[in-house]
A = this chain, B = another copy of it.
Amino acid sequence: MARDSKYDILFEPIQIGPKTLRNRFYQVPHCNGAGSEKPGMQAYNRGMKAEGGWAAVCTEYCSIHPESDDTSRVSARIWDEGDVRNLAAMCDRLHHFGALAGIEMWYGGPHAPCMESRATPRGPSQIPSEFEINIHPRYMDEDDIAEVQQMYVDAALRARDAGFDIVYVYGAHSYLPLQFLSPFYNKRSDRYGGSFENRARFWKECLEKVREAVGDDCAIASRFAVDTLYGSAGIEVGEDGVRFVEYVDELVDLWDLTVGDIAEWGQNAGPSRFFEENHEKPFTGQIKAGDHTNKPVVGVGRVTNPDTMVAIINSGQFDIIGAARPSISDPFLPSKIEEGRFDDVRECIGCNQCISRWEIGGPPLVCTQNATAGEEYRRGWHPEKFHPAANSDKGVLVIGAGPAGMECAMVLGKRRMSAVHLVDANREIGGCVNWISLLGHSDGGENLARGSARGLGEWKRIVNYRQIQLDKLSNVQVHTNSGLSAQDVLDYGAEIVIVATGCHFATDGLNPATHAQIEGADTSLDWQLTPDEVVSESKRIGKRVLVLENEGYFMGVSVAQKLAGEGHEVHLLTQMGDIAGYMEYTLEAPMLHRDLHRLGVDIRPYTMLEKIEPGICHAYNIWDEAHKEQLEVDTVVLCTQRISNDELYRELKSDKAKLEAEGIEQVFLIGDASAPRMIVDSIFDGHRLGREIDSPNPAMPLPFIRERRLWGEVSNDDYRAQLLNTPDVAVA
């Protein structure tokens, strides 16, 4: 299918300095967990986007020197010749597919704790990081400034040698250049502090020196937070925001604009729960619209809708559509738009699971929508290509059309299994997503300082995408309103049976804190509820509600938001030190805390329930079980733990002779029915089984390539040589 001409603007080339972007799709720097240590993953994860049509693809933040070491988080690094070699693999793969390669040169100052290098980070003034625990920088005198600027130059030269086309001087997210620019970090009284020109000097000089070094060979980009969102204490778009762009515009070939800082970078990578598409426009949109730059501008906003993209360019907001998360969710977004295949786009749901792994530090990225993200190299998975299964003659019955079942059936369909039946007892496919996507909003929360409590509605895209794909697959049949007994399954006629029957919440208080039931907990009573019953509104909920949150992710707090927003008095108890700890990793926590605070929810950390009686809950402090409290409440909601719906699987498995007699060769258990987990992991589980349905033992995942040093394959001397070859470091 040819593209609609209204999208032509998205495919017009554009010049940035000495380089040309083939179209307007640009993968801005984002983390993926590969760094410079997993060169295969780095090359193939980024390369998939080049193959999918992006005009430029960047590294994540890339440290220019061991003094900027973010361990345990994973950044790229361009410290030495080994890094040049490893990142060159990425550049080569991008160039092979016609994309430009960008590198985001990064010096973190006090935000880089240097736990691997053990170096001392430097900063403009000696104030500890607001993002790390107790990391003070060393004050930079003018010698330090010159040294660090030389680090940018040396890194840029190495980057050019590795094959990069675009070299960033990265100052967004409160890293060093912005630390000099912002009065929040810069308290100096010398020529690098005080006036705007003084505060801008460090960044300007970096740009000059990098341009001098590589500006004929590479485009020079700068990523800049036009507003740090805390008023005059930092950068405000109407003040230093536009001023800085104008001041150094001649030194920059491309502006990559963001908002926010590092401590709340969810203002930039806005979760859908609190931010809508193109939410940064009020800030980043002012630069080009106000004629403050003569250079191309790229910006982001979780934009997946091609009409929004066209509007962004035509309205003069940006010249280039930047994307991080939408490019993870669908590396082929540009190709699909070009080919008019809009309904094949896997739209980002804004859950920020990808980000959570960077925040945790160490794990590779994951994506709820795209189970192949991060698996391109190590498992050889391609998001758009599926090999026909070796056992494609088999018929498959998938029971349960939740995240795991939908995904598995879709993959099996694409692998050309002769017949795939996806059967669900409910009226619609989607499983838990159908009710979870109704959560997360309060009464709107428009009064929140930043963001609004708009809820998890975009998570429904999980279902929408798969529904469309399943509809297109002629070898897949979907049957809803069809509960199956074990006998029904035996009679069905499929050779392969996949049980994906999901899970349910514990009804008796069984929980990870005490590993026991809670006395008096019983959600068969009309005043005790599981979280799904809150959504279904199947029970009357009293004025005073206690929500027990033992999971640490979104469920308990979402229930609390909903009920408090409806006017209930809510106590929110957790055995942990803080509620919803995982939402720190998804960047949702600050907005969540603001909303719960606004709603007046009574949050009690380190608190657990001992006993539930009508009207009274008996709680205790986990540090002293003798310290008890009684809470008078009308309704109790138990978000304690989940339990797999695996009875059907157990029954089928219990009689292997019967399975054999009915021609059932294999029975598998996936998703929450195997072990309750996050949606991202359920989808992965279903996808994995589909990809490996023809392996010798599909129940056991095949091994994946682990990129690591193999002792003896490369000698210690050769390892050391990778350092010695680095021009700017002298080794004794």
Binding site for B on A (CB under 8 A): 36-40, 43, 66, 71-73, 79-80, 82, 85-86, 88-89, 115-121, 126-130, 133-139, 141, 184-185, 187, 233, 357, 360-364, 366, 449, 510-516, 551-553, 577-578, 581-582, 584, 590, 593-594, 597-598, 605-606, 621, 623-624, 627, 641-644, 646, 650, 653, 669, 674-678, 681, 684-685, 688, 692, 694-697, 700-714, 716, 718-720, 722-723, 726, 729-732
Contact = CB atoms under 8 A, between A and B. Distances in A.
A471 B511 CA distance: 58
A148 to B, nearest CB: 11
A360 B605 contact: no
A108 to B, nearest CB: 14
Contact of A716 (B40, B86, B678): B40
Contacts of A718: 710, 713
Contacts of A704: 117
B642 A621 contact: no
Nearest to A646: B139
A14 B443 CA distance: 71
A184 B513 CA distance: 10
Contacts of A115: 357, 360, 362-364
A709 B37 contact: yes
B597 A578 contact: no
A134 B577 contact: no
Contact of A120 (B40, B85, B551, B674): B674
A732 B691 CA distance: 12
A357 B590 CA distance: 26
10 contacts: A36-B708, A39-B709, A40-B709, A40-B719, A120-B675, A121-B675, A133-B581, A136-B644, A597-B627, A707-B708
Contacts of A582: 133-134
B708 A82 contact: yes
A552 B128 CA distance: 11
Given A71-B363, A605-B578, A130 B512 contact: yes
A646 B136 CA distance: 14
B711 A39 contact: yes
Contacts of A621: 597
Given A85-B711, A697-B730, A705-B719, A138 B184 contact: no
Given A86-B709, A361-B362, A703-B723, 11 more contacts: A79-B703, A115-B364, A116-B362, A130-B512, A137-B675, A233-B516, A578-B605, A694-B732, A700-B729, A708-B708, A710-B714
